[in-house]
Amino acid sequence: MNNDKLWAGRSTEETDKLLDLFNSSFPFDFQLWKQDIRGSIAHATMLKEIKILTAQDFEQIINGLKTIESEIAADEKAWFEVRQDEEDIHMAIEKRLTALIGDAARKLHTARSRNDQVATDLRLWLRAENYQISELLLELRQTLVKLAERDAAQIMPGYTHLQHAQPISLGHHWLAHYERFSRDFERFSEIRKRANFNPLGSGALAGTTYPLDRELTSKLLGFTAPCNNSLDGVSDRDFVAEFQFASALTMVHLSQLSEELILWASSEFNFIELADRFATGSSMMPQKKNPDIPELIRGKSARVLGNLQSILVVLKGLPLAYNKDLQEDKEGLFDTCKNLKICLEIMFRFLESIKINSSKMEAAAMGGFLNATDGADYLVQKGVPFREAYYALGQAVQFCLKNNKLLTDLTEGEWKSFHASFESDVIEKIQIENCLQKRLSFGGTSTTRVREQIAEAWAHIKHQLKTLSIERNNSS
């Protein structure tokens, strides 16, 4: 029998070619090559420290791994194509190491299973991706704060049910999205902490008989500590599911922002104008200027939501410990990271490029009776119960609709016909600008409060940039 599988000792016949094809994860887990080499170097270092590897074996293994690292880095595509029939990246690297240095390579897998090897590689890879995504979230949040600074006094209609509700500033609106992405940033930070534990040394499921120094490999790989339980160490994919959830919710937030931008760019709203460099046209209709970027983001959110559902379904029926089902944890994860990163980056570039049609926003804010609540509040301040005041303003709005008027067009006499407590100053009190600036409650839309929110946002961002940089350096 000729079976070159590294695990083929028990086999009495060659594996079926269809099994080889079905079983292979090399086409997608190839991208874990850097993490696999880093993990192997840490494992070899530990084996040398506990006298499993001689100094000569160690030197050969390290030099061989660094040679492989240089080979792949020089031409990933060529290295992949030569070994595309391999079972996975872990076997491919071990085979190449054996070809380079001979018997010393056969000692590297001592006290290690692919189960803990894969789990370690994936945690290392995902930690690096998490840092990149967190940096992009910081970029997006900085963009939103800059827009809020620029648009702090820009009046626009606020909406509920997509109907005119109350006047707000555009700066306040940008900051609402900033808050959502701030929570996303915090979620990714929390996930890094829970995921940053070292499975290496868990073996296949039960640990090993060797006196491993798992604290050493944890330190070398930038982990907080070893996983406490070897069964959990090889089977846990909570860190994948949590990451997928955080990614899915971030994509939901991107999709919601995209939906608004699509509406605002429409002829019916006309609140914003798209930059030509970030818009497309029609192959048939020469007048078109299409918001493809936010539409694609809105569409790609469905993929990421699907990837979350996929990992949850994979995990729901698995007994301890490792099961081959867990090979399905990667393709969806890789797809999520790829799409989330491009969506975050293109969103903040897109936002920087749009032009605000101030006059359209202001004109929209003047209509729709956005100042009706302020009219009711005017009466409340004169001691009128809110429900009575609410009814009076409802009558005023109904009158305006029948007579094609705005509330600011009403005469003092007309106001008094709705309630005797109205006086001539009501017209000034319900001017849209005054309605906005009176909203001084904490977190409100007045320019004063928006400026405070901006200052606080910059302070948070400055602290988080520093903290993220320190954390990333410590893990590298």
**Using CA of residue 133, residue 137, residue 222, residue 41, what is the dihedral sign?**
positive
- How far CA 298 is from CA of 170, 294, 304, in Å, comes to 22, 6, 11
Task: Evaluate whether residue 449 is within a structural domain.
Answer: no
Which one from 24, 43, 90, 161 is the annotated catalytic residue?
161
Task: Evaluate whether residue 447 is within a structural domain.
Answer: no
User: Residues 278, 188: one domain?
Assistant: yes
Domain, as residue range, for 341: 118-147+169-361+454-475
Task: Evaluate whether residue 159 is within a structural domain.
Answer: no
- pTM here is 0.93
**70 CB-side CA count, 13 A:** 6
Task: Evaluate whether residue 395 is within a structural domain.
Answer: yes
The domain total for the chain is 3
CA nearest neighbour of 112 among 34, 215, 212: 212
**Using CA of residue 236, residue 238, residue 241, residue 243, what is the dihedral sign?**
negative
User: Residues 51, 125: one domain?
Assistant: no
- How far CA 292 is from CA of 96, 139, 344, in Å, comes to 45, 21, 15
Distance CA 270, CA 46 (A): 63
| Cβ neighbours around 164 below 10 Å, total | 17
Task: Evaluate whether residue 409 is within a structural domain.
Answer: yes
User: Residues 188, 245: one domain?
Assistant: yes
User: Residues 104, 130: one domain?
Assistant: no
User: Residues 180, 49: one domain?
Assistant: no
Which one from 90, 230, 253, 282 is the annotated catalytic residue?
282
| Cβ neighbours around 224 below 10 Å, total | 14
**134 CB-side CA count, 13 A:** 24
Task: Evaluate whether residue 435 is within a structural domain.
Answer: no
Task: Evaluate whether residue 9 is within a structural domain.
Answer: no
User: Residues 352, 408: one domain?
Assistant: no
Q: Are 350 and 278 spatial neighbours (Cβ–Cβ below 8 Å)?
A: yes
CATH number, domain containing residue 102? 1.10.275.10
177 is catalytic: no
Alpha helices in 50-88, H assignment, sequence order: 55-74, 76-82
User: Residues 202, 333: one domain?
Assistant: yes
User: Residues 347, 467: one domain?
Assistant: yes
Distance CA 331, CA 318 (A): 18
Task: Evaluate whether residue 7 is within a structural domain.
Answer: no
Q: Are 214 and 226 spatial neighbours (Cβ–Cβ below 8 Å)?
A: yes
Distance CA 375, CA 407 (A): 9
CATH number, domain containing residue 266? 1.20.200.10
User: Residues 189, 291: one domain?
Assistant: yes
Distance CA 333, CA 128 (A): 13
User: Residues 93, 46: one domain?
Assistant: yes
Q: Is 161 exposed, middle or buried (CB count within 10 Å of its CB: 0-12, 13-18, 19+)?
A: exposed
User: Residues 98, 126: one domain?
Assistant: no
| Cβ neighbours around 139 below 10 Å, total | 16
CATH number, domain containing residue 394? 1.10.40.30
User: Residues 143, 283: one domain?
Assistant: yes
**Local confidence pLDDT in tens for the 476 residues of the chain:** 445 665 466 666 676 777 767 778 889 899 999 999 999 999 999 999 999 999 999 999 999 999 999 999 999 999 999 998 899 999 999 999 999 999 999 999 999 999 999 999 999 999 999 999 999 999 999 999 999 999 999 999 999 999 999 999 999 999 999 999 999 999 999 999 999 999 999 999 999 999 999 999 999 999 999 999 999 999 999 999 999 999 999 999 999 999 999 999 999 999 999 999 998 888 888 888 999 999 999 999 999 999 999 999 999 999 999 999 999 999 999 999 999 999 999 999 999 999 999 999 999 999 889 999 999 999 999 999 999 999 999 999 999 999 999 999 999 999 999 999 999 999 999 999 999 999 999 999 999 999 999 999 999 999 999 999 999 999 88
161 is catalytic: yes
